[in-house]
Amino acid sequence: MTKNSKETVLTAGYILLGLAGAVLAGYLTVGGVVFSHGSILLRYAVVGFSGALVYAAARLRGFGFCILMIVLMFFGQVAMNPPLRASSAVIAALWALPVGIAFTASGFIFKALRRYPIGKFILMGLLVGIGYAIGMVAYLLKVNAPVAMASVMKQAVAGIKVGALMGFGMEMVDLLGKALRASGESYYEE
């Protein structure tokens, strides 16, 4: 199997398990409402999809591709917050930047800790939770609302769930990648 084929298989795995992890996190956060309200499901699905792409870029390609995927995450947020105005773009950026950086950091940390196959998902949960909390604080400051710790913690806990469940899925795909690597050349950019 060529390097490009391996990267394609791994990226598809990251996306599928990222989507599954994010939707499961949505279910654990808001319950069955995630499936009855399409907008809630869409929000979690967009995070799963774009977060998985950011992670895959960090693991397989490098920092330049991570920036492109964070821009994609930003456009996903803009699309979910109509109407298109400067203020909605700023709000999307206030969320996409810290969360995108959290997924990027997770990808590089997972890459650095590849000798440890299981358990890194906890770090991803913490990083994404911090990203969600920073995004919430930035949003509250932007709209001149009081920074209520209850709101910030609620977002942080949602981020921890999203990050940890997606991180567990990423670890499973990384194990697949390890098996593919054993069958030939390295699939990660060294």
Q: What are the structural domain ranges in the chain?
A: 3-182
C-beta separation of 132 from 158 below 8 A: yes
Residue with the two structure tokens 């929000």 = 43
Distance CA 77, CA 73 (A): 6
Spell out the per-residue pLDDT of the chain, length 190, in tens.
Answer: 787 888 899 999 999 999 999 999 999 999 989 888 878 999 999 999 999 999 999 998 889 999 999 999 999 989 888 888 888 899 999 999 999 999 999 999 998 998 888 889 999 999 999 999 999 999 999 999 999 999 999 999 999 999 999 999 999 999 888 887 776 655 454 4
Q: One-letter amino acid identity for 117? A: P
| pLDDT number for residue 50 | 94
| pLDDT number for residue 189 | 46
C-beta separation of 12 from 53 below 8 A: no
Which of 122, 125, 169 has its CA nearest to residue 14? 169
Distance CA 14, CA 20 (A): 10
Phi and psi dihedrals of 120, rounded to 5?
-70, -20
Sign of the Cα pseudo-torsion (138, 44, 41, 82, in order)? positive
The number of angstroms, rounded, from the C-alpha of 152 to the middle of its chain's C-alpha atoms is: 18
pLDDT in tens, 12-26: 999 999 999 999 999
How crowded is the C-beta side of 188, counted as CA atoms within 13 Å?
20
Cis ω for the linkage preceding 83 (within 30 of 0): yes
